[in-house]
Amino acid sequence: MPNSIIIQLVWLAILATVVFSIWKGGPAERRAGFLIGLGALVAFAIHRLAPEDTQPLALLTAEFALAVGFLVLAVLYGSLWLGGAMLLQAVQFSLHAWYLLAERQHDILYSVINNADTVGILICISLGTLSAWRRRAAVRPAPSPAP
Protein backbone atom coordinates (compact mmCIF):
# COMPACT_ATOMS: atom_id res chain seq x y z
CA MET A 1 0.00 0.00 0.00
CA PRO A 2 1.39 3.42 -0.93
CA ASN A 3 2.50 5.50 2.05
CA SER A 4 1.59 8.91 0.62
CA ILE A 5 -1.88 10.17 1.49
CA ILE A 6 -2.04 11.87 -1.93
CA ILE A 7 -1.44 8.58 -3.74
CA GLN A 8 -4.03 6.86 -1.56
CA LEU A 9 -6.55 9.61 -2.37
CA VAL A 10 -5.83 9.26 -6.10
CA TRP A 11 -6.39 5.49 -5.85
CA LEU A 12 -9.65 6.11 -4.00
CA ALA A 13 -10.71 8.60 -6.69
CA ILE A 14 -9.89 6.06 -9.41
CA LEU A 15 -11.97 3.40 -7.67
CA ALA A 16 -14.87 5.81 -7.10
CA THR A 17 -14.81 6.95 -10.73
CA VAL A 18 -14.74 3.40 -12.06
CA VAL A 19 -17.65 2.34 -9.84
CA PHE A 20 -19.65 5.50 -10.63
CA SER A 21 -19.11 5.18 -14.39
CA ILE A 22 -20.12 1.53 -14.45
CA TRP A 23 -23.09 2.08 -12.14
CA LYS A 24 -24.61 5.25 -13.66
CA GLY A 25 -22.89 5.73 -17.02
CA GLY A 26 -23.89 4.82 -20.53
CA PRO A 27 -21.84 2.58 -22.81
CA ALA A 28 -19.12 5.21 -23.43
CA GLU A 29 -18.76 6.03 -19.75
CA ARG A 30 -18.64 2.37 -18.76
CA ARG A 31 -15.95 1.64 -21.31
CA ALA A 32 -13.92 4.69 -20.27
CA GLY A 33 -14.24 3.70 -16.61
CA PHE A 34 -13.13 0.19 -17.44
CA LEU A 35 -10.16 1.57 -19.39
CA ILE A 36 -9.00 3.86 -16.60
CA GLY A 37 -9.41 1.09 -14.01
CA LEU A 38 -7.49 -1.36 -16.17
CA GLY A 39 -4.79 1.24 -16.83
CA ALA A 40 -4.39 1.88 -13.10
CA LEU A 41 -4.07 -1.84 -12.39
CA VAL A 42 -1.52 -2.27 -15.18
CA ALA A 43 0.53 0.67 -13.84
CA PHE A 44 0.35 -0.81 -10.34
CA ALA A 45 1.52 -4.19 -11.67
CA ILE A 46 4.38 -2.57 -13.59
CA HIS A 47 5.57 -0.73 -10.46
CA ARG A 48 5.37 -3.90 -8.37
CA LEU A 49 6.51 -6.63 -10.78
CA ALA A 50 8.66 -5.18 -13.57
CA PRO A 51 12.39 -4.75 -13.08
CA GLU A 52 13.22 -1.12 -12.30
CA ASP A 53 15.22 -0.60 -15.51
CA THR A 54 12.27 -1.67 -17.71
CA GLN A 55 9.56 0.25 -15.83
CA PRO A 56 9.79 3.52 -17.80
CA LEU A 57 9.34 1.78 -21.16
CA ALA A 58 6.58 -0.45 -19.77
CA LEU A 59 4.75 2.58 -18.37
CA LEU A 60 5.16 4.43 -21.66
CA THR A 61 3.68 1.46 -23.52
CA ALA A 62 0.76 1.25 -21.08
CA GLU A 63 0.09 5.01 -21.41
CA PHE A 64 0.17 4.67 -25.20
CA ALA A 65 -2.36 1.82 -25.09
CA LEU A 66 -4.62 3.87 -22.81
CA ALA A 67 -4.35 6.90 -25.12
CA VAL A 68 -5.29 4.74 -28.11
CA GLY A 69 -8.22 3.33 -26.14
CA PHE A 70 -9.50 6.84 -25.39
CA LEU A 71 -8.95 7.82 -29.03
CA VAL A 72 -11.07 4.88 -30.20
CA LEU A 73 -13.81 5.78 -27.70
CA ALA A 74 -13.69 9.47 -28.69
CA VAL A 75 -14.08 8.60 -32.37
CA LEU A 76 -16.74 5.98 -31.67
CA TYR A 77 -18.91 8.12 -29.40
CA GLY A 78 -17.85 11.64 -30.40
CA SER A 79 -18.43 13.26 -27.03
CA LEU A 80 -16.68 16.33 -25.67
CA TRP A 81 -15.72 14.75 -22.35
CA LEU A 82 -14.05 11.83 -24.15
CA GLY A 83 -12.06 14.29 -26.24
CA GLY A 84 -10.89 15.96 -23.03
CA ALA A 85 -9.94 12.62 -21.47
CA MET A 86 -8.09 11.65 -24.65
CA LEU A 87 -6.12 14.93 -24.70
CA LEU A 88 -5.23 14.60 -21.02
CA GLN A 89 -4.09 11.03 -21.64
CA ALA A 90 -1.91 12.35 -24.47
CA VAL A 91 -0.33 14.72 -21.93
CA GLN A 92 0.28 11.73 -19.66
CA PHE A 93 1.92 9.82 -22.50
CA SER A 94 4.06 12.85 -23.37
CA LEU A 95 5.15 13.17 -19.74
CA HIS A 96 6.34 9.56 -19.68
CA ALA A 97 8.04 9.95 -23.07
CA TRP A 98 9.84 13.12 -22.00
CA TYR A 99 11.17 11.57 -18.80
CA LEU A 100 12.21 8.41 -20.66
CA LEU A 101 14.01 10.23 -23.47
CA ALA A 102 15.66 12.74 -21.14
CA GLU A 103 16.66 9.82 -18.90
CA ARG A 104 15.37 11.76 -15.90
CA GLN A 105 14.44 10.13 -12.63
CA HIS A 106 10.87 10.65 -11.49
CA ASP A 107 10.87 13.74 -9.28
CA ILE A 108 8.30 15.94 -7.57
CA LEU A 109 7.45 17.71 -10.85
CA TYR A 110 6.69 14.36 -12.45
CA SER A 111 4.49 13.34 -9.51
CA VAL A 112 2.54 16.60 -9.49
CA ILE A 113 1.89 16.57 -13.25
CA ASN A 114 1.11 12.85 -13.29
CA ASN A 115 -1.37 13.04 -10.41
CA ALA A 116 -3.00 16.28 -11.60
CA ASP A 117 -3.41 14.81 -15.08
CA THR A 118 -4.92 11.61 -13.67
CA VAL A 119 -7.40 13.65 -11.62
CA GLY A 120 -8.28 15.62 -14.76
CA ILE A 121 -9.06 12.40 -16.62
CA LEU A 122 -11.17 11.19 -13.70
CA ILE A 123 -13.08 14.49 -13.71
CA CYS A 124 -13.76 14.14 -17.45
CA ILE A 125 -15.11 10.60 -16.98
CA SER A 126 -17.18 11.66 -13.96
CA LEU A 127 -18.69 14.62 -15.83
CA GLY A 128 -19.52 12.37 -18.76
CA THR A 129 -21.15 9.86 -16.40
CA LEU A 130 -23.12 12.58 -14.65
CA SER A 131 -24.29 13.92 -18.01
CA ALA A 132 -25.39 10.46 -19.22
CA TRP A 133 -27.19 9.83 -15.93
CA ARG A 134 -29.05 13.14 -16.15
CA ARG A 135 -30.00 12.55 -19.81
CA ARG A 136 -31.51 9.18 -18.93
CA ALA A 137 -33.39 10.69 -15.98
CA ALA A 138 -34.81 13.47 -18.20
CA VAL A 139 -36.05 10.96 -20.78
CA ARG A 140 -37.57 8.60 -18.22
CA PRO A 141 -41.32 9.19 -17.89
CA ALA A 142 -42.60 10.32 -14.54
CA PRO A 143 -44.59 7.71 -12.63
CA SER A 144 -48.31 8.15 -13.03
CA PRO A 145 -50.25 8.92 -9.85
CA ALA A 146 -52.25 6.11 -8.35
CA PRO A 147 -56.01 6.41 -8.95
What mean pLDDT is predicted for residues 47-53? Answer: 92
Q: What is the pTM of this model?
A: 0.87
What percent of the chain clears pLDDT 90, i.e. is strictly above it? 70
**Predicted confidence (pLDDT) at residue 47 exceeds the cutoff of 80:** yes
Residue 107 neighbours by CB distance under 10 Å = 9
**Predicted confidence (pLDDT) at residue 97 exceeds the cutoff of 60:** yes
Residue 25 neighbours by CB distance under 10 Å = 23
* Per-residue pLDDT band at 146 (split at 50, 70, 90): low
Residues in Cβ contact with 19 at an 8 Å cutoff, skipping those fewer than 6 apart = 33
What mean pLDDT is predicted for residues 68-90? Answer: 92
